[in-house]
Structure 1
Amino acid sequence: MGLFNIKKLILLTGDIAALYAALFLSLWARNLSLPDAFIWGKHWPAFTLIFCIWIVIFFINGFYDLQKARNSVVFFSSFLGTITLNFFLAIAYFYITDFRDITPKTILLLLTIIYIPLFGAWRVAIQKILSGHTLQNRVLCIGLVAENIQLIEVLTKNPQIGFSVAGVIADYPDSAPLPLPHDVAVWSSREPFEGLVKTHHVDTIVVAAGSLTEPVTKELYKMIFMHAQIVDLVTFYEMITHRVPVLALNEAWFLENIQEKEKQIYDSIKIFFDYLIGAIMAAIGVVILIPVAALIYFYDKGPIFIKQKRVGRDEKEFMLYKFRTMVVDAEKNGAQFTVPHDKRITPVGRVLRVMRIDELPQALNILRGEMSFIGPRPERPEFVEEIAGYMPFYHVRHLIKPGLTGWAQINRGYYATREEHLIKLQYDLYYIKHRSLLLDGAILLQTVRVVVKWLGR
């Protein structure tokens, strides 16, 4: 488990080292001689703040998410876009600050040009090392259940995370509920574990609760003396996916993991930030109200705002407000989930959605205390009743205030099907369990990315 976070720290440390190396090389190129202590001392303080901002933006764009930070065209294309943004932010910073004894803009241009290949070479090299067998943690899964198979798929597709699958032990090896990757071995639970662990150099054993029969438990006890790390499936699933596997839970899990009394100080601090953000949103809404209202009205002469009944904390219903983004008769056939490329969304509405402007009227809900800025997205009563009818523990998401943005929203877009709502609940339960100012800060930064890049839906 520690190796998982160490790899993130390695990526961060290397990126920072590459920034200062690029600064050193840019000074060398600018002056055609090695920079001495005096020249270095004049430049590194001026660029350190810039580097801090760049690293934050790298974080926002998922450069330290081990599933996203991989050697791929998508990742390096994202890097080029991000470094371009960083360059112009740094230019703006140097224009509004006074550095008379250095030429920061020239150095910045050289630094950016040098940093691009440095970053690329560093990331390609380190990802190959991290994906290699030397730093791989070998995982043996106990139990041929859907959640273990989902984990195996994630680990197989993302070797840079640092885990490789040795195989699966099951009571009935031919009874997989989902297809397994073709190269994953399945052994019977009647085989001695000791030989499998030795032969396949197993470091971690992931155990599904339903597989803990008496013979399996006795075999796992022996593994303690082989120094194998034994972890339950739910904990490991959380760590890898940042979701809670709802279908693998029982009531006892909630008694152990959902302790609302421990969150009282955090909840009190969060209320202050909610009012602050709500006030900022309201001010922005007032400024843009007239042009937005004009665009909505003149497109189809319909109402500017819509209000919908939603389910909030403790299952109390409230009216949620939004700028209207759909045609006037969008729900002539009853309430429906929004789907990708929904034809009910107007051209004006599509622009408002990608910029998240349609959500600004919810400042009123936040200031009223009906919503938080961050939390599970509130659903309509008819949807809640429907989903709760087939999904266990769905009402747990109503333990806290719903939010305008949240962990589920930044990790995935639309949720319309049963399978998608299951994933959404998994994200919501993860947030409810782990919510903190640090996690809220990460969600806030990711939400800023969605707004700036027009990724709203």
Structure 2
Amino acid sequence: MNKKRQLRKYLIADFVAASITWLLFNLLRYYEVAAFLGFTSLDSYLLSFQVLKGQVLVPLFWIVLYYFSGYYNKPLGKSRLTEFFSTFIGVGIGVIFVFFVIVLNDLPRSFEIYYELFFTLLGLQFVLTYIPRLCITQQALNRVKRREGSLYVLIIGSGKKAQRTGEALFRLGYTITGYVTENEKESSVVTSGALLGGLDQLSDILANNRADELVVALETEDVEAQLPIIYSLYKYKRPIKILADNSNMLAKVNIKTIHGIPLVDLTDNNFSEAEKNIKLFMDKVISLLAIVLLSPALLYIAYRVKRDSKGPVFFRQERIGYMGKPFMIYKFRTMFVGAEENGPLLSAENDPRITPFGQTMRKYRLDELPQFWNVLKGDMSLVGPRPERRYYIDQIVKRAPYYYLLHNVRPGITSLGMVKYGYAVDVDQMIERLQYDILYYENMSLVLDMTILIYTVKTVITGKGI
């Protein structure tokens, strides 16, 4: 199923619904209040500048509102029940805004007309938005049940739990890629043709077979035995879901039930789709403002870097970012040219490779300012786990494989690890700092982001961490 095509369907349906709603609502407004505004005919009212402007801007407002609500983030996999509630909440918020900004400017002949206008607008907007959405969602569900564009699931496990899970997912329209046995001693009940191999062969299995998601359904109830297996899956950068039952203590997070099948997404966090869109928007706006407003300071720092030592003003280095994709990070150069001729090396206090002005920049984190450009490009966010080099990631994941979870969010200019721990001078300290980044990942929210930004400003002003 094509994600972009499905998204276009929702966008077009929502825009048309909003346009028709506003036109019908304006017909009601004409008969209720237009006479008080000086209009003598329906044509003169509908063709007036204010009404025509609203006919264009109001539908656009609804599209923007739905975007920030997160409705368009996942056009596939919607359910009819969530469709109803998400539409009702979104429409309710939008109608209140439109009513107080636009409709209250009207002068009705009686106060009761406000109630009539409000509930009419609410009813029209909800019904004309929800019905097309429901039809589009139902069509998608029907296609999934017919196996047209269904998700491919690879099940980790080959016992009775794995078999039951596979059969249930298959009935719901998922395509079962196959099963992977935990080890040679595991008792397998699935057919030999569906068994693709063992965990030690998983890399080859994923290279030769499509798997959109990994579902862990092991027979063992021993959490300690399950953890190493789950940790080993993070590097494949796919959603990892685990079968949640009364015996599985790993299922302590919110359970996302798929039509009666309790599955926990271990690679997900509690950051809502609405918060993701608001965060992305604020990243772009703040970064653009920062580049413009700080341009005199940026020019002065560039001048000082150039005067302080020979070499380029900016330092470019490959880092690993969102979904494990490499990108070039930008900083003001704080070290002498050739500082890493003998290989990658983390900086330490009183590092002789750091230039005199570089010491000042690092103390106040001024060397990070060019990364506003990285945020504007979409490589980074204002707040998020700091991006690392592949050289160090390869060492970290040998001891802390859950590090791969951090690739599910955009790396940040600042992070909880940076404000609570600071710079790391070796891999041991990087792993210690990682605990703060995992804590951030598991508790992501806009409030937490604002808190980290406040502490970062404090660090910049005082030159001290917390």
Mark the structure with the bigger radius of gyration: 2
- Alignment TM-score > 0.5, same fold: no
Q: TM-score, normalised by structure 2?
A: 0.43
Structure having the larger proportion of residues in helix: 1
